[in-house]
Amino acid sequence: MENFKEPIMVTKSFLPPLNEYMKELERIWDNSWLTNNGEIHNEFEKNLVQYLGVPYASLFVNGHLALETAIKSQHLTGQVITTPFTFTSTTHAIVNCGLEPIFCDIEPSTYNIDAQKIEDLITEKTTAIVPVHVFGNPCDVFEIEKIAKRHNLKVIYDAAHAFGVEINGVGIGNYGDISMFSMHATKVFHSIEGGVLTYSDNHHKSFIDLYKNFGISGPEDIELIGINAKMNEFQAAMGLVNIRYVENEIAKRRELVGVYRYLLKDIKGITVLEDMVGIKHNYAYFPILVDEESFGMNRNELHETLKEYNIFTRKYFYPLITNMECYSSYKTRYNLPVAERIANSVLTLPIYSRLSVDDIEKICSAIKKIHQNLN
Ligand SMILES: *Cc1c(COP(=O)(O)O)cnc(C)c1O
């Protein structure tokens, strides 16, 4: 097998044809309007409403501040039930809003919060659930909705990974009270940095749009204590151009994922996720689980060994939130066997549209060879 001459990273940001972006930049120069609800910002927001199939959307400078704003907008107190298997942003947003995160174990089949285990964690202090659609695979949104109704809880989805995902033809941003999509450069769709909140209740819009602009409602009117999290015109221009290519990006990834699944299926000790019934996936990530006993080495060793082949994978999500130094006080309070097992065995392999089928074949033969050398 021939090694990769150039390192293959776990992801590579999509860049549109430069002339298309330049065209949008010319509009910025013509308008001399750089931020604060510019023309391109407003156009991009409308496009997102349409593409995501949601009633309302609000743009943000990044996904994290969008998530904090979503949580703030619900005026919550006390405890919020969430997942320990996520990017650190989810938990930081909850804690930065003065709330206590309560960690629920995850499902072994989707790595999402286990809806069957949520109710055991509800107390009189619980006010919301913040689930994450991990790797873009939908949570059990119907069960979560039932639980939320029964206990009068708000639901805010961290949909950072789930741009473009649909459940039975319905945009995933229609579930829960609010959903947050990240448009960071490393995500399946991006506006350099960026975030968008989607919701169906129009009265959230006034709080959300005020809050992200210091709470300023008029030249002499400061209605509430907000932050600055506005998306600027340069970001909106990138988003506006990139959205023309997002379906193509997803289609190419879909093909590559098909090749990965086919080539990895016979390697002992490697588990892949399959498509879910009724779901339009976005193939944002390609996670595998490495079973030490049957594969012959553990996840950490495979991660290291693949580097020798110039293949750079990512332990995502690892460590678990409860094992991070800043959340270590939570560590002993929770029993999270499934989340622990997944975090210790998960590895995301390279996936982005500019990879070729040939590249995927090489990555898979490297994994096969490593396995064979051990057995
Ligand atoms: C990327 C990400 C975020 C944060 O989004 P940014 O746009 O990078 O601020 C939050 N949650 C999850 C699960 C993410 O992957």
CATH number of the structural domain spanning residue 138? 3.40.640.10
How would residue 332 be classed by pLDDT, with cut points 50, 70 and 90? confident
**pLDDT given for residue 331 in this prediction:** 84
pTM reported for the whole predicted model: 0.97
Beta strand ranges found along 68-224 (DSSP E): 79-82, 100-103, 126-130, 154-158, 166-167, 170-171, 178-182, 195-199, 216-218, 221-222
Residue 255 in any domain: the answer is yes
Confidence at residue 276, expressed as pLDDT on a 0 to 100 scale: 97
Q: What is the pLDDT of residues 131-186, one digit of tens each?
A: 999 999 999 999 999 999 999 999 999 999 999 999 999 999 999 999 999 999 99
Q: Give the domain extent around 335.
A: 246-374
In a domain, 4, yes or no: no
Instruction: Give yes or no: residues 257 and 366 share one domain.
Output: yes
Regarding whether 222 and 162 lie in a shared domain, the answer is yes
Which residue CA neighbors atom 5 of ligand 1 most closely? 63
CA of 214 from ligand 1 middle (Å) equals: 22
Lowest pLDDT segment from 55-59, 95-99, 203-207, 312-316: 203-207
Pocket flag, ligand 1, residue 184 (CB < 6 Å)? yes
Q: Is 72 a catalytic residue?
A: no
Question: Distance (Å, rounded) from C-alpha 69 to C-alpha 159?
Answer: 14
Examine the domain organization and report whether 315 and 211 are in the same domain: no
Ligand 1 centroid distance, CA of 370 (Å): 33
Are residue 304 and residue 185 in the same domain, yes or no? no
> Could you tell me if residue 202 is inside a domain?
yes
Q: Model confidence over 220-279: pLDDT tens digits?
A: 999 999 999 999 999 999 999 999 999 999 999 999 999 999 999 999 999 999 999 999
How many domains does the chain divide into?
2
**Ligand 1 atom with the shortest distance to the CA of 187:** 1
> In 3-state terms, what secondary structure has residue 213?
strand
Same-domain status, 224 and 370: no
Q: Is the CB of 158 under 6 A from ligand 1?
A: yes
Ligand 1 and 86: CB distance under 6 A? yes
The CB of 195 under 6 Å from ligand 1? The reply is yes
Residue 121 belongs to some domain of the structure: yes
Could you tell me if residue 144 is inside a domain? yes
Q: Is 271 found in the same domain as 235?
A: no
The answer to whether residue 2 is domain-embedded is: no
**What's the CATH code of the domain at 327?**
3.90.1150.10
Q: Tell me the H-state helices in the chain.
A: 18-31, 39-52, 63-73, 88-96, 141-151, 203-211, 233-242, 246-264, 292-295, 299-307, 337-345, 357-374
The residue contributing the CA closest to ligand 1 atom 13 is 87
Is residue 375 scored above 80 in pLDDT? no
Domain contains 11: no
Regarding whether 221 and 190 lie in a shared domain, the answer is yes
**pLDDT per position as a tens digit, 174-219:** 999 999 999 999 999 999 999 999 999 999 999 999 999 999 999 9
Residues 57 and 119 in one domain: yes
- Residue after which a domain boundary falls, among 242, 272, 291: 242
Q: Are residues 73 and 54 part of one domain?
A: yes
User: Where among 190, 216, 242 does a domain terminate?
Assistant: 242
CA distances from 314 to 253, 255, 285, 319, 360 (A): 18, 21, 10, 12, 16
Domain boundary among 199, 225, 242: 242
pLDDT of residue 104: 98
134 within a domain of the structure (yes/no) = yes
94 and 141 in a single domain? The answer is: yes
Residues 32, 78, single domain; the answer is: yes
Q: Is 70 in the pocket of ligand 1 (CB under 6 A)?
A: no
Which of 184, 316, 320 has the most ligand 1 atoms within 8 A of CB, as the residue to mutate?
A: 184
- 65 CA to centre of ligand 1 in angstroms: 10
Q: Are residues 23 and 143 in the same domain?
A: yes
**Which of 72, 154, 187, 230 is labelled catalytic?**
187
For ligand 1, the distance from its centroid to the CA atom of residue 229, given in whole angstroms, is 15
